[in-house]
Structure 1
Amino acid sequence: MALTLHQLRTRAATLVLAAAVAALGAGCTKIETDITQGWDAQRLYEEARTAASDSDWTRAQDYYTKLESRYPFGRYAQQAQIESAYAYWRDGDAAQCVQACDRFLRQYPNHANSDYVLYLKALATLNQRNTIFTSLLTQDIYERDADAAQTAFDTLKELVERFPQSRYAHEARRRMHELVLSQAHHEYNIARFYYERHAYVAAIERAQNVVRTFQQTPYSDDALELIRDCYREMGVTDLENDVNRVLELNQNRER
């Protein structure tokens, strides 16, 4: 029996709908497929390590996350957290690395590898910073970065104080020293920035901060010289002479 035009259109629409549903179902099945189903903790850990050795940090992170979720109290869980933090750092996600380190240190404050986690956290914290130590930026950006720098310094200090014999202690001390020098240099550069724009009061305030906070760095005398130059430009002769006397005392002490 011949079909009417309306019946043909209805049947065609039904076939199209059925094909769409079938395709959607096939797509959902593909998305929901998880090759790690049935893997035990050891298999997940080994596969994560293999992915990490291939620098496939995203895949490694996926396996570490599944390992922690499925076997939170197993013998691989703690190590997975440490290596997961490292994977975040290597993958360029410093913020997630810091969070993972903080979570580990809260859960396992006395873990044998806490020194390493503290060191990794400090590195990741410094990675979050913009290059403020090599360029002059606005005040609000500097203040945000100063917080990150202080956090990294405090983390390194905690490592050195809690684990003085750690294999990471020497490197932590070196990085603390470099961080102090970098902060002093940056603060001095800001003082010079104001000086070159004839904002002498602001320059003096910044330079005085270098002298007070970073007295043991080479930038302390540089800051004093800048203060002296500001007073000279402002015509404040008595204060200029006072600073000159301090500079002379410092020079005599170094001889």
Structure 2
Amino acid sequence: MPRLLWPLLGLLLLAGCASNKERPELTEVDQYREASESLESRNYLTAIDQLKELEARFPYGDFAEQAALDLIYAQYRAVDYPATVVAAQRFMRNYPAHPRMDYALYMRGLANFNMEKGLFDNMVSSDKSSKDMGAAKDAFRDFERLVNRFPDSEYAPDARSRMVHIRNQLARQELHVARYYARRGAIIASINRAQYVVKHYQQTPAVPEALAIMAKGYQRLKQPELAEKSRDVLALNWPDSKFLDNDKQVDLAWWPDEDDGLLSLLTFDLL
């Protein structure tokens, strides 16, 4: 028996060594080809690993710049928006004169634009105006930088459209805060928020209500001239506004009575 066991053990060891033998290291061309095939097959997580390995092995290779661009795309398609932003920033830092700089800016803007979207945002309408809009502001700056630096870029039209959407959302956020202050009885703070909308977010749908808030706020503060001025601007530019009644007087259905505002203030909006 011992004479038979030793050759058998030897064969098993040789088989184990053969199975553990690593495949030969790929050339830069072959490794980039594999990553490209993974992207084409929509295997984005695999592509991310392959592209990162390519960058680590060939940081100054012939495919380094294209791999960095592909990594931005792969991470975006993998819905890893923070990683997309980091990858785009790294690309812009490493290749500031690259002819695809507009693409990197656009992708960073898209990632920031989608950063706050929840799992069900694509299935139901979601109003983000009452939440923190930090990522949306970052996206606006990215898109603004894109259209200013590359006005003829193929990505510029979509960037401009998204900027309009972001401005509308930011204006609605200011209105949300203005309403909150008004309901709490903080009339001056409410007016200030409404003025900010009128000054910084012109041509957004939020402006008519902002003017109505200013008119009601000045009425509450016993400043009829300022209240009338706000009402006149509203009536002149939006004569059919839902915030004007049949007599062209400001009508805000949610505006609290003076007693209601005091009660809200004292009870921290619990009543």
Q: TM exceeds 0.5?
A: yes
Q: 1:93 — aligned with what?
A: 80
Deviation at 1:42, TM superposition (A): 1.6
Q: Quick check: 37-46 or 239-248, which moved more?
A: 239-248
Structure 2 counterpart of 1:73, from 54, 57, 60: 60
Matches within 5 A, 1:86-165: 86-129=73-116, 133-134=127-128, 136-137=130-131, 142=132, 145-146=133-134, 148-165=135-152
- 8 Å CA contact 1:133, 1:186 repeated in 2: no
Q: Is 1:200–2:187 an aligned residue pair?
A: yes
Partners in 1 of 2:70 and 2:176 — Cα distance? 39
Identity rate, percent = 35
Change (3 A) 1:169 1:41: same
Deviation at 1:161, TM superposition (A): 1.8
- 8 Å CA contact 2:71, 2:87 repeated in 1: yes
**Aligned residues, how many?**
215
Partners in 2 of 1:118 and 1:95 — Cα distance? 14
Deviation at 1:107, TM superposition (A): 1.2
Partners in 1 of 2:30 and 2:180 — Cα distance? 58
Deviation at 1:235, TM superposition (A): 4.7
- 8 Å CA contact 2:129, 2:170 repeated in 1: no
Q: Is 1:214–2:197 an aligned residue pair?
A: no
Deviations 1:223-252 (A, max 9, x none): 010121233345543432232233344347
Which has more helix, going by share of residues?
A: 1
Q: Is 1:59–2:53 an aligned residue pair?
A: no
Deviation at 1:187, TM superposition (A): 1.4
- 8 Å CA contact 1:133, 1:183 repeated in 2: no
Deviation at 1:34, TM superposition (A): 6.0
Structure 2 stretches lacking a partner, 5+ long: 1-15, 119-125, 240-271
Partners in 2 of 1:55 and 1:172 — Cα distance? 25
- 8 Å CA contact 2:51, 2:71 repeated in 1: yes
Deviation at 1:74, TM superposition (A): 1.7
**TM-score, with length taken from structure 1:** 0.75
Deviation at 1:133, TM superposition (A): 4.5
Partners in 2 of 1:196 and 1:212 — Cα distance? 23
Measured on the aligned residues, the alpha-carbon RMSD in Å equals 2.5
Partners in 2 of 1:75 and 1:120 — Cα distance? 23
Partners in 2 of 1:34 and 1:93 — Cα distance? 31
Deviation at 1:168, TM superposition (A): 0.7
Question: Secondary structure of the equivalent of 1:125?
Answer: helix
Deviations 1:37-83 (A, max 9, x none): 51111211121122222322221111001111111222211111011
Q: 2:219 — aligned with what?
A: 232
Partners in 2 of 1:77 and 1:122 — Cα distance? 23
Q: 1:21 — aligned with what?
A: none
